[in-house]
Amino acid sequence: MSEKAWIIFQPSGRRGEVAKGISILEASQQLGVDIETLCGGRRICGKCKVRIEEGYFEKFGIDSRKHHAGAWQEEEGKFITSAQREEGYRLGCCARVEGDILVFVPEESRAGKQVVSKAARDIPIEWDPAVKYYYVEVSKPTLERPTGDLERLLEELIARHGLNRLNIDYRCLISLPDRLREEEGRVTAAVWMDKEIIRILPGEHTNSYGIAIDVGTTTMAAYLCNLVTMEVVKTVSMMNPQCKYGEDVMSRITYHVTNEDGLQKMNADIIEAINSLVARACERTYPPQENDKDTDKDGYPCLAPTDIMDMTIVGNTAMHHILLNLNPEYMGTAPFPPVVHKSLDIKARDMGIVINESAYVHVLPNEAGFVGADNVGVLIAEEPYKKEEMQLIIDIGTNGELVLGNKEKLISSSCATGPAFEGAQIAFGMRAAPGAIERITIDGDTHEVDYKVIGRDAWRSYSKSEEMQTKGMCGSGIFDLFAELYRYGVILKSGRFNPQQKSNRYRKNSETNQPEFVIAWAEETSIGRDIVITQKDIRQIQLAKGAVYSGCKLMMRRMGIDKVNVVKIAGAFGTHVDPEKALIMGLFPDCEIKRIVSVGNAAGDGARAALLNRTKRQEADWVSRNVRYLELTVEKDFQHQFVEALQIPHMSDSFPHLKGIVSAEILNKK
Amino acid sequence: MSEKAWIIFQPSGRRGEVAKGISILEASQQLGVDIETLCGGRRICGKCKVRIEEGYFEKFGIDSRKHHAGAWQEEEGKFITSAQREEGYRLGCCARVEGDILVFVPEESRAGKQVVSKAARDIPIEWDPAVKYYYVEVSKPTLERPTGDLERLLEELIARHGLNRLNIDYRCLISLPDRLREEEGRVTAAVWMDKEIIRILPGEHTNSYGIAIDVGTTTMAAYLCNLVTMEVVKTVSMMNPQCKYGEDVMSRITYHVTNEDGLQKMNADIIEAINSLVARACERTYPPQENDKDTDKDGYPCLAPTDIMDMTIVGNTAMHHILLNLNPEYMGTAPFPPVVHKSLDIKARDMGIVINESAYVHVLPNEAGFVGADNVGVLIAEEPYKKEEMQLIIDIGTNGELVLGNKEKLISSSCATGPAFEGAQIAFGMRAAPGAIERITIDGDTHEVDYKVIGRDAWRSYSKSEEMQTKGMCGSGIFDLFAELYRYGVILKSGRFNPQQKSNRYRKNSETNQPEFVIAWAEETSIGRDIVITQKDIRQIQLAKGAVYSGCKLMMRRMGIDKVNVVKIAGAFGTHVDPEKALIMGLFPDCEIKRIVSVGNAAGDGARAALLNRTKRQEADWVSRNVRYLELTVEKDFQHQFVEALQIPHMSDSFPHLKGIVSAEILNKK
């Protein structure tokens, strides 16, 4: 394992450990910080200016020094004045991470893209990838034994590595005779599942690469991994290009049903997106050894998409079907049967995916029509089936997927959260992008609001109005807001606004005659209007949280339990959710706050686990068959439970862990 | 099995049993008789005029009647006058085989193509094809059990047919959801090797189809088979389009080595040829049941290439490599290692072959660099490894492949016969096409010559000179001639012309000063020159026969035997070889004449056996590994044996079976 250093980006606060020696630009890409670059890191556009902060930062426990960013490069002089250089300015593509550093990304260098937070977490995975490299030295044929090339190779693979009964992919076979003679019979064979040879490389190679893909309804992420060291070499993400066909899975299915070539188009888009993720992951990614001969435009050795030997994919059932060109029509109507549950190994070339041409793509299994391979990914990453404690896992994307259980039993269900948690159908909702409110606090006494937006480190109260440039609210801001509104009595348990308000932020909209509450005044925004939350917005959030809460309750009832030991919140925005706020708003039944954890993009972690460990694939197939799917809508009492859950009915006795966080007065109010 | 009738075509003499009810045109195609047709049998070009002969033909044991050709069709009146009708003229596309018939094909209706004689023989094959159909009724999903489409199908296939552990091809999976709903869950699954579903057909189907392909260096043949009844539905053949790159395998390999895109071009040609063979085999081939919904241009149901569920291919090692895009360079130079020996199952779509898109192509295994899958085909068709008797199998194409052995042991070798036996490198040699001399006799007393040509039934002695239109000599004519020249003392044992000649046919060529012997006088030919055999030609034939004979001897020595029980002559021209003549010319050591048999295109029979019986595939793999390949050129004594074999050293004691056929005087002459 190479040496690592901490890097923290301001103002976003994103941080992580990265390999020493990579550029700050590369580190920003790995951590999902968007720094502007036009030339792609080739030192010619000068857009990626950053400032290295000098000093010891107690809050983070790091000592950032200018020289930790490596030697000054000649090219930087073209874009950075000597005064700026004095201040610590560098080009992100030139400066390297050579020790812990705190990097400030000035506004002008920030790319305006959505902040996709799908960075890979450290989860323990045992090494046993589906694709492994085997080095052999194959003897030449003789007149006495003029044995075929393949047979001589297979003999060596048996003799040296005990690999019996190997097949070879047809395309790989085509390359064999020449590869075998390039270095006098010395070759490395890439073998899939100890069954099939999928690449012949001349000479001895040790590092191989695979990529795990998470196809979310809204965002897609790819984790390029070294299959030997198991390191995540690079993380890249992008919007799912299918978004243009509709925000949620049902609208995508509808697009297919109402357009003759709908499926074909959406499929082509997603395949193109995967190919572009792969290409971006490989771009300027340098393999650690010199045997790899591909070079980039400047002649440096770099990875090519065809060097990727394996791919795993997770996604919800609809994404899974569209990705595989499988008709999603039937899974969209009751009783919602998917085309296929079990995991699939498909030749990348049959899907149009451009990696090593003989490679397989492993698509994880689906549980049910609305609990897909993404949830299976969450399960194999979190492994509730190996624990005694009763876990509740909530994976909130555009659709909510719930799992409850432990090693004895697992049940799953899905609930129609709708897109409210992602900012859609909310008057001033937006995606997690610069300018979106991601944190909100309300003062209990005055009902004054403080908040921070993505892309700006300083909170409202520490900024001038015009510095905020606020655009709207994203999911985590909505969570915060709803909890705070309830906690301090701005809204009542029913969700209606409290007629007794303490600030001038509460008002009736003159046009709609609807009550609303101002979060940001016009002068703080970049849109020139007050950003408000309306009574209707609150209803939408109630519908979403009610769906999750009632789902949890029904599952617990079915399981015969009245409390859970652990709550895990997964999803693209899982990393941002404040556990306390989620508990206050009543997203799920009571739980000890320190046992509510955000597990981030656990689905992606599961894809990575399946990439690096083949037993995880079996585990995924096993778990997909052994999770009992509960169709909530046919549960007795469903309607009643759902309506109840719309309210915020926390009683101090049913939510003991809210004591001291929310006042007894609020909790016990009727 | 449908009823059959005998059909004999004159003047070619080609005959065979065909299914009653097919048109005479179809029968001609099955038997390799080329009748001209421009419209492809659509009754609009009138080119396929034939004459039905009336009467009992003792020679053939058939009673041919005009009404055996079915009812007169209105369309025939456009092309056939009433006088012609009286004589028995019909259109080949309208007249049907309804009983035994003798059909005369007038000169004007004969297509001038090579006579490819690759008709399928009846060999006993047990029914166990790789692809079988299984009918199931799949239940609908319910809210209680919203199981996936594939899982419900697999459950039924297990419950009804015991097919455990089935996979499904990805392309087939794509079709599943819609196919499953077309007839309310009633589907027929085509399953390959009890392992993989390769097609879903709505409703119940029983008849499935496969095709066996023989890729010869010069000609290609395809046998379309019903995989249920095992009938050969249609046989089609064509020239190998690679001929334009060179006549023999070495010139093809050279073309690859000397042209950058040589392999690519030859591969594209052969794939295109296979696709065209498949299309022609399906053309106007009607499935016996009405469920199959594809229709031809006229709206009749017919087979489509995508209805072909399985394909097997044989070919020599060079054809095998070119077909599979495998570099043939190394197998062309010592020690001649092929890229691969073992059989391969490759997705048709990966090869560019257009049949059912999920189907596999099974390519039979190679024995060695110069003993390929075609020879393996011969072996599994003839099964010498199941017999006590010692068999010698000689497969003569452009290359000679020899197998010797029985159930105890098998050895093979290849010998460079060169193309002399196929008419190349012989002054007046030509392919087996109309105008080629295919039979020759010489009068022992006068040394006068009588012969017959392909495309004309009457021998020279029964024809006027100008009727012969002779063009040259093909392989079987060359065999005959060489045997006759020796038998009657026109040439001596050394191969040199006997100075004592009895006719004016022997002369010295005025230009070359070489001795030569006239076979056909200029007035009998269409080329306006005497057709002769030169001393140089005789040398070429000696080289070819010497290669085979010495190969046989060396193999027998290695086997420790001095006589064989059975000699089988296989090859495209095997059907034409006269066993007696082959023995006289010394192609192989002595054998009882009635135990010398022509087995025709045994390689194609082997491909068909592998198509209809999966055990034959295992047998092929087994035999390819267990035939010991003998590289003749490194055998002790090879040179000496070969030089000896160039002569025609028959002694009455070493060739007891020639007694009474060749005079003692000739046999024992020094």
**Residue A182 touches chain B, beta carbons under 8 Å:** no
Q: How many CB atoms lie within 10 A of CB A357?
A: 18
| Chain B residues within an 8 Å CB radius of A368 | 146
Q: Is B296 exposed, middle or buried (0-12, 13-18, 19+ CB in 10 A)?
A: middle
Distance CA A610, CA A379 (A): 11
Residue B245 and residue B266 in contact, taking contact as beta carbons nearer than 8 Å? yes
Distance from CA of B586 to the nearest CA of A (A): 29
- Using a CB–CB cutoff of 8 Å, tell me whether B329 touches chain A: yes
Q: Identify the three-state secondary structure at position A476.
A: helix
Is the CB of residue A146 less than 8 Å away from at least one CB of chain B? yes
β partners of residue B51: B89, B104
**In this predicted model, what pLDDT tens digit does every residue of A583-631 receive, in sequence order?**
998 899 999 999 999 888 899 999 999 999 999 999 999 999 999 999 8
Q: Is the CB of residue A339 less than 8 Å away from at least one CB of chain B?
A: yes
Confidence of residue A121 (pLDDT cuts 50, 70, 90): low
For the record, the structure tokens of B417 come out as: 């016969």
Which two structure tokens, joined as six digits, stand for B518? 């006239």
Helix %, strand %, coil % for chain A, to 5?
Answer: 35, 25, 40
Classify residue A667 by its DSSP letter.
Answer: H
Asked if the peptide bond before residue B11 counts as cis, ω within 30 degrees of 0, the response is: yes
Structure tokens at A279: 């290409």
Relative to beta strand A167-168, strand B515-520 is unpaired
Residues A484-536 pLDDT 10s? 999 999 999 999 999 888 889 999 988 888 999 999 999 998 888 899 999 99
**pLDDT tens digits, one per residue of A220-245:** 899 999 999 998 998 888 878 887 77
Token look-up 């694709």 returns: A131
- Subunit contact B177:A327, Cβ cutoff 8 A: yes
Q: What is the DSSP letter of B519?
A: E
**Amino acid A274: pLDDT:** 97
The verdict on a CB contact (< 8 Å) between A146 and B368 is: yes
Answer whether B334 sits within 8 Å of A143, measured CB to CB.
Answer: yes
**Would you say residue A62 has pLDDT above 70?**
yes
Give yes or no for a contact between B432 and B474, defined as CB atoms under 8 angstroms apart.
yes
Cβ contacts of B148 on chain A, cutoff 8 Å: 337-342, 366
Asked if pLDDT for residue A74 goes beyond 80, the answer is yes
Q: B669 and chain A: CB distance < 8 Å anywhere?
A: no
Question: Pairing between strand A186-192 and A219-226?
Answer: unpaired
Predicted ipTM of the assembly = 0.78
A175 touches chain B (CB under 8 A): no
Distance CA A544, CA B182 (A): 38
Of residues A300 and A68, more confidently modeled:
A68
Q: Which residues 6+ apart lie within 8 Å of B499 measured at CB?
A: none
B536 touches chain A (CB under 8 A): no
Note the pLDDT of residue B292: 47
Lowest mean pLDDT among A105-109, A142-146, B16-20, B367-371: A105-109
Please write the tens of the pLDDT for every residue from A336-383: 999 999 999 999 999 999 999 999 999 999 998 889 999 999 999 999
Alpha-carbon gap, residue B243 to B218, rounded angstroms: 6
Q: What is the mean pLDDT of residues A156-171?
A: 95
Are B148 and A629 within 8 A, CB to CB? no
C-beta separation of A394 from A570 below 8 A = yes
Q: Which residues of chain B have pLDDT under 70?
A: 1-2, 32, 37-40, 45, 107-108, 110-122, 247, 289-300, 419, 422-424, 431, 572-575, 652, 670
Q: Tell the residue number behind the tokens 């017999």, with chain if given.
A: B387
Quote the strand ranges of B240-287, DSSP E.
none
Going by the DSSP 8-state scheme, the letter that residue B174 receives in this structure is H
How many Å lie between the alpha carbon of B337 and the closest alpha carbon of chain A?
A: 5
* Interface check B170 vs A, CB under 8 A: yes
For residue A188 the two structure tokens come to: 């490395």
Instruction: Taking each helix axis as running N to C, give the angle between helix A262-282 and helix A249-258, from 0 to 180 degrees, rounded to the nearest 10.
Output: 130
- Dist CA B242 CA B219 (whole Å): 10
Q: Given pLDDT bands bounded at 50, 70 and 90, which one contains residue A115? A: very low
Asked if the Cβ–Cβ distance from A330 to B147 is below 8 Å, we say no
Q: Chain A within 8 Å of B344 (Cβ-Cβ)?
A: yes
Contact residues for A120 (Cβ-Cβ < 8 A; gap 6+)? A223, A232, A235, A601, A604, A605, A608
Inter-residue long-range contacts of B506-514, CB under 8 Å, 24+ positions, other chains counted: B506/B447, B509/B534
Q: Do B177 and A326 count as a contact with CB atoms less than 8 A apart? A: yes
Residues sharing a CB contact under 8 Å with residue A539, sequence separation 6 or more, in sequence order: A495
Residue where the block lists tokens 């995880």:
A616
The verdict on B84 touching A (C-beta cutoff 8 Å) is no
Of A149, A338, A368, the CB nearest to B339: A149
d(CA A480, CA A616): 36
Put simply, the answer to whether A369 touches B146 (Cβ < 8 Å) is yes
Cα nearest neighbour of B326 on chain A: A174
* pLDDT reported for residue A619: 97
Report the interhelical angle of B535-559 vs B638-646 (nearest 10°). Answer: 130
Chain B CB within 8 Å of residue A352 CB: no
Q: How far is B378 from chain A (nearest CA, A)?
A: 21
Closest to B603 (Cα-Cα) out of B327, B398, B431: B398
What pLDDT band is residue A106 in, cutting at 50, 70 and 90? confident
Whether the CB of B92 is below 8 Å from some CB of chain A: the reply is no
Query: Which residues does A137 contact at the CB level (< 8 Å), separation at least 6?
Result: A156, A185, A186
What's the one-letter identity of residue B339? V
Sign, CA dihedral B599-B604-B606-B611, equals negative
Other Cβ atoms less than 10 A from the Cβ of A605: the count is: 27
**B345 → chain A, closest CA residue:** A170
pLDDT at residue A16 in the model: 81
Q: What is the DSSP letter of B368?
A: B
Give, in order, the Cα–Cα distances in Å from A146 to each of A177, B40, B337, B614, B628. 14, 48, 5, 28, 11
Give me the DSSP letters along A410-432. Answer: EEEEEE--GGGGGTTTSTTB--S
Would you say A569 and A542 are in contact if contact means Cβ atoms under 8 Å apart? no
The pLDDT of residue B40: 63
Which residues on A lie below 8 Å from B340 (Cβ)?
148-151, 173, 176
DSSP letters spanning A347-362: EHHHHT--SSTT-EEE
Contact in structure between A593 and A583 (CB atoms under 8 Å):
yes
B155 touches chain A (CB under 8 A): no
DSSP codes, B438-491: EEEEE-TTT--EEEEETT--S-GGGS-HHHH-B-EE-HHHHHHHHHHHHHTTSB
Query: Are the CB atoms for B151 and A341 separated by under 8 Å?
Result: yes
Higher pLDDT, A216 or A294: A216
In this prediction, residue A566 carries a pLDDT of: 96
Chain A residues whose beta carbon lies within 8 Å of the beta carbon of residue B151? 340-342
Q: Compute the mean pLDDT over every residue in chain A, rounded to the nearest whole number.
A: 88
Which residues are CB-contacts of B281 (< 8 A; sequence separation ≥ 6)?
B211, B222, B224, B233, B234, B235, B236
Q: Mark residue A246 as left, alpha or beta (left: phi above 0; alpha: psi -120 to 50; beta: remaining).
A: left
Q: Which two tokens stand for residue B421?
A: 């036996």
N-to-C CA span, chain A: 58
Q: Quote the tokens at residue B227.
A: 């995989």
Residue B174 touches partner A, C-beta closer than 8 Å? yes
Q: How many CA atoms lie less than 13 Å away from A249 in the CB half-sphere?
A: 31
- The single-letter DSSP state of residue A188 is E
Burial A434-467 (b: 16+ CB within 10 A, else e): bbbbbbbbbeeeebebebbbbbbeeebeebeeee
Is B164 in a helix, a strand, or coil? coil
The model's confidence at residue A120, banded by pLDDT at 50, 70 and 90, is low
On the question of pLDDT at A433 being above 90, the answer is no
Q: Least CA distance to B166: which residue of chain A?
A: A342
> What pLDDT does residue A292 have?
47
A56 — contact with chain B (CB < 8 Å)?
Answer: no
Which residues, including other chains, have CB under 8 Å from residue A1's CB and lie 6 or more apart?
A229, A231
Q: Do B399 and B414 touch, CB atoms closer than 8 A?
A: yes
Among A146, A177, A629, beta carbon nearest to B335: A146
Closest CA to B604 of B19, B26, B207, B116: B116
Q: Please report, as a single letter, which amino acid is at residue A228.
A: V
Q: Are B313 and B361 in contact (CB under 8 A)?
A: yes
Residue B322: closest CA among chain A residues belongs to which residue?
A: A174
Nearest one of A475, A649, A480, A482 to A553, comparing CA atoms: A649
- Give the three-state DSSP class for A492: coil
Lookup: tokens for B149: 């489409």
Tokens of A508: 């009736």
Other residues' Cβ atoms within 10 Å of the Cβ of residue A508: 12
Dihedral sign, CA of B651, B652, B658, B664?
A: positive
Nearest CA in chain B to A327: B177
Tokens describing residue B479: 């065999």
- B-chain CB neighbours of A334 within 8 Å are 143
- Phi/psi class of residue B250: alpha, beta or left (left: φ > 0; alpha: ψ in -120 to 50)? alpha
